[in-house]
């Protein structure tokens, strides 16, 4: 293993010229592992420009002696609350696995997290995960001291089946967000909605603006419910990934973010916004709605999704390692 690993070297991201190679590596891994989260040059370009990302510190590439890309790893270090979290994604080319690259990646990720946590004088929690049927990845995380701490479901629902008519409380209306003029109000609503949820990290206005600048953003799918006094009370942010649909041959649209502000819950707004989002995706020509949900969501989201016909496609298992 040592002899093989010595032939690899790590380097920083070098900009636009790296994007096609990175996209190819990620998609090769997705295909080999029978996963469905494909990417594109355009998507990566936008992701790497995120205001939350320090591209020179939070992204690493590994190459072999011939300069071929063999692995990539990325950390997301959100603004902390009582601990510094780092969420790690990584991909290793199928024919270069189990030669030590995975250990190198985890070592790098731990060092990066420790650096930030020490600067902020906070405890450190490294997070990663895997789909339930990726046994090699699950074994790797367990071997390196990670433990399971949460389960998430990827769920789908046919849009060709009948969709009930949304029922809003009296005086409430639904409309698209009014662009950047309402970005700050939307972020305030989002943070008020999820502040009592597991592993919450506050969103910033620049994060929302970054979403809205994405090439695939469709304003008509960015929906809000407005209370009689004008308060933004609930939201259903939907999106379509055309290149992924072209690759899979599917017509899938995402219920990206759904929530109801505290103070407006138990009024049926969540269900009404979900159904409105599904109808909006259907209007865009989509045949299936897709979403992700925390299996222990405290607001009963899982029951809501099941009640309107969503079914589990697979389970994602979140792991954590508390660094000392």
Render pLDDT for 207-236 as a digit per residue (tens, 0 to 9): 999 999 999 999 999 999 999 999 999 999
In a domain, 110, yes or no: yes
Q: Whole-angstrom Cα distance, residue 162 to residue 176?
A: 23
DSSP string, 94-120: GGGTTSSHHHHHHHHHHHHHHHHHHHH
Average pLDDT on 300-321 reads 96
In a domain, 196, yes or no: yes
| DSSP element (H, E) containing 189 | helix 183-194
Q: Rounded CA gap, 292 and 217, in Å?
A: 19
Average pLDDT (42-64) is 94
What would the pLDDT profile of 131-155 be if each residue is shown by its tens digit? Answer: 999 999 999 999 999 999 999 999 9
Last residue of a domain, one of 145, 166, 181: 145
Distance CA 125, CA 319 (A): 10
Domain tally, the chain: 2
Does residue 238 share a domain with residue 186?
yes
pLDDT bin (cut points 50, 70, 90) of residue 36 is confident
Question: What's the confidence (pLDDT) of residue 201?
Answer: 84
Q: What is the pLDDT at residue 171?
A: 97
Q: Does any domain span residue 285?
A: yes
Q: β-pairing, 84-92 with 232-240?
A: unpaired
Q: Check residue 5 and give its pLDDT.
A: 54
The overall average pLDDT reported for the chain is 94
Contact 196, 147 (CB under 8 A): no
**pLDDT for res 3:** 42
What pLDDT does residue 81 have? 79
- Tell me what pLDDT residue 248 has: 87
Tell me which residue range forms the domain holding 66: 2-145
Q: How far apart (Å, rounded) are the C-alpha atoms in residues 204 and 206?
A: 5
* 290, part of any domain: yes
Output the CA torsion 301→303→309→312 (10° steps): 80
Give pLDDT, residue 6.
Answer: 58
Q: Report yes or no on 22 lying in a domain.
A: yes
**More confidently predicted of 199 and 188:** 188
CATH number of residue 44's parent domain: 3.40.630.30
Longest Cα pair distance anywhere in the chain, in angstroms? 70
Q: Which two tokens stand for residue 230?
A: 């004008």
Q: How far is CA 188 from CA 191, 192, 205, 208, 233, in A?
A: 5, 6, 9, 11, 11
- How buried is 228 (Cβ within 10 angstroms: 0-12 exposed, 13-18 middle, 19+ buried)? exposed
d(CA 174, CA 165): 13
- Whose tokens are 């809205």? That residue is 212
Q: Is the model's pLDDT at 39 over the cut of 60?
A: yes
Averaged pLDDT, 45-68: 94
Q: Are residues 202 and 312 in the same domain?
A: yes
Residue 300 has pLDDT above 90, yes or no: no
Is residue 275 a contact partner of residue 165, using CB atoms and an 8 Å limit?
A: yes
pLDDT confidence of residue 2: 39
Q: What are phi and psi of 169, to 5 degrees?
A: -60, 155
Q: Per mean pLDDT, which range of 96-110, 168-182, 192-206 is the poorest? A: 192-206
164 and 300 assigned to the same domain? yes
Question: Cα 169 to the chain's mean position, in Å?
Answer: 31
Write down the pLDDT at residue 175.
98
13 pairs with which residues across the strands? none
């Amino acid at each position: 293993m040592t002899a093989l690993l010595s032939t690899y070297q790590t380097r920083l991201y070098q900009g636009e010229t790296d994007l096609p190679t990175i996209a190819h590596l990620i998609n090769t891994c997705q295909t080999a592992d029978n996963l469905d989260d494909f990417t594109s040059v355009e998507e990566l370009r936008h992701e790497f420009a995120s205001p939350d990302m320090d591209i020179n510190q939070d992204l690493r590439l590994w190459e072999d002696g011939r300069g071929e890309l063999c692995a990539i790893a990325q950390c997301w270090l959100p603004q902390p609350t009582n601990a510094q979290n780092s969420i790690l994604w990584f991909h290793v080319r199928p024919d270069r696995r189990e030669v030590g690259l995975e250990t190198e990646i985890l070592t790098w990720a731990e060092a990066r997290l420790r650096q930030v946590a020490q600067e902020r004088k906070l405890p450190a929690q490294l997070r990663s995960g895997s789909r339930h049927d990726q046994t090699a990845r699950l074994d790797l995380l367990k071997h390196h001291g990670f433990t399971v701490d949460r389960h998430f479901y990827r769920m789908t629902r046919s849009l060709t089946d009948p969709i009930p008519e949304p029922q809003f409380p009296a005086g409430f209306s639904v409309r698209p967000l009014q662009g950047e003029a309402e970005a700050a109000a939307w972020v305030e609503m989002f943070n008020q909605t999820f502040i009592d949820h597991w592993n919450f990290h506050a969103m910033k206005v620049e994060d929302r603006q970054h979403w809205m600048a994405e090439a695939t953003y469709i304003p008509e799918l960015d929906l809000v419910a407005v209370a009689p006094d004008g308060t933004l009370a609930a939201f259903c942010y939907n999106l379509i990934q055309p290149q992924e649909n072209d690759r899979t041959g599917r017509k899938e649209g995402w219920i990206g973010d759904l929530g109801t502000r505290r103070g407006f819950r138990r009024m049926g707004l969540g269900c009404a916004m979900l159904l409105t989002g599904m109808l909006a995706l259907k209007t865009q020509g989509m045949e299936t709605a897709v979403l992700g949900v925390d299996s222990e969501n405290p607001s009963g989201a899982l029951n809501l999704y099941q009640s309107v016909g969503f079914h589990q496609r697979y389970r994602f298992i979140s792991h954590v390692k508390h660094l000392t």
